[in-house]
Amino acid sequence: MSKKMKKFLDVGCGYGPIGLSLVKAYGAQATMVDINNRALDLAQQNAVKNNVQATIFQSNIYEQVEGSIRSCHFESAHSCRQAGRS
């Protein structure tokens, strides 16, 4: 990630290791989404534990993010597929 990057979208963020690490390392603004509410709870807890702020919410891929994408220009999007998940 470039030091100049200001905003990014983490799709399928899980418990937040990548998104929260990038916020902490680069000071970027993160929007992090996942379909799994348990994973989102863990991501919120990890953000608090690491003193990191991010927008974290439930979405099935881009379902709830679409409006945000239109009103904001993300400079990067990140998505990971877990083994066995389609």
Give the list of residues 6+ apart from residue 52 with CB closer than 8 angstroms, or none. Answer: 20, 23, 24, 46
Rg (CA), the chain: 12
Whole-structure pTM value: 0.72
Which pLDDT value is given to residue 7?
83
The residue to which tokens 């603004």 are assigned: 29
Residue 80 has pLDDT above 70, yes or no: no
At 32-48, the pLDDT tens digits run 999 999 999 999 999 99
The string of pLDDT tens digits covering residues 6-19 is 888 888 999 999 99
